[in-house]
Each structure stands twice: as C-alpha cells, then as structure tokens.
Amino acid sequence: MKAGDRLQSTVCEAQVIVVRPATAPVDLRCGGAAMSPVGTGHAGGAADAALSGGTLLGKRYVDDVTNLELLCTKAGTGTLTVDGRPMPFKDAKPLPSSD
C-alpha cells in the first residue's frame, strides 16, 4: 500500500484514498471484509452487523498504531478497521484566534 492508492469496500459503497501509508503491512477492512483496488468490482454480501457504523464522506481516518491515514471519497455503511481495530476519524485542528 502506498500514498495515492484508491481502495473500495467489497461489501458496501465506501471508497478511500491512502493519504499516509502504514509503517508495516496491515489488514485493512471495511465492514469486516478486505478492501480491494477501485475498479475490481464488489464481491457482494453484506457488512458485518457489528461493523456497520458507516464511513463518512470527506473525513480522514487515522490509526495511531500504524500511522495509516485514509481519506474517504465515497461514503458507505461499513466501518473501517486496521488489524481488527476500528479507525476513528481525525479531528480538525482548531484555528488560532484572530484577536
């Protein structure tokens, strides 16, 4: 996996772009199923009910353990996970006051 790679979920409509690759090989999943390169088609099936919290369009998702950072380019119903850990989205940095 390298920066700029586009990946899609095989169980929902979610798509992401790799902003910062992981420091080591990882098991990246969405909705409990492995992600694949965009354009390879959907395998079918449904997202795992426990991992159906959704992926939000325009949000950056970060894993602090591996430093993997993803940008969601198409929303979906599956939750992004890395090595079994759900990926939280990155909070926006507060802007300095203009006083």
Q: What are 71-92's pLDDT values in tens digits? A: 999 999 889 999 999 999 888 7
Within a domain: residue 59? yes
Q: How far apart are the first and last CA of the chain?
A: 43
Q: How far is Cα 52 from Cα 30, in angstroms, rounded to an integer?
A: 9
Residue 82 lies in a domain: yes
Examine residue 93 and state whether it is found in any structural domain, yes or no.
Answer: no
Q: How many domains does the chain have?
A: 1
In a domain, residue 97? The reply is: no
**Phi, psi (degrees; rounded to nearest 5) at 38:** -60, 135
Q: Is residue 49 part of a domain?
A: yes
- The residue ranges of DSSP E strands in the chain, in sequence order, are 6-8, 15-20, 28-30, 33-34, 36-37, 60-62, 69-74, 80-82, 85-86
Express each pLDDT in 19-52 by its tens digit.
Answer: 999 988 999 999 888 898 988 766 567 767 778 7
Residue range(s) defining the domain that contains residue 69: 6-86
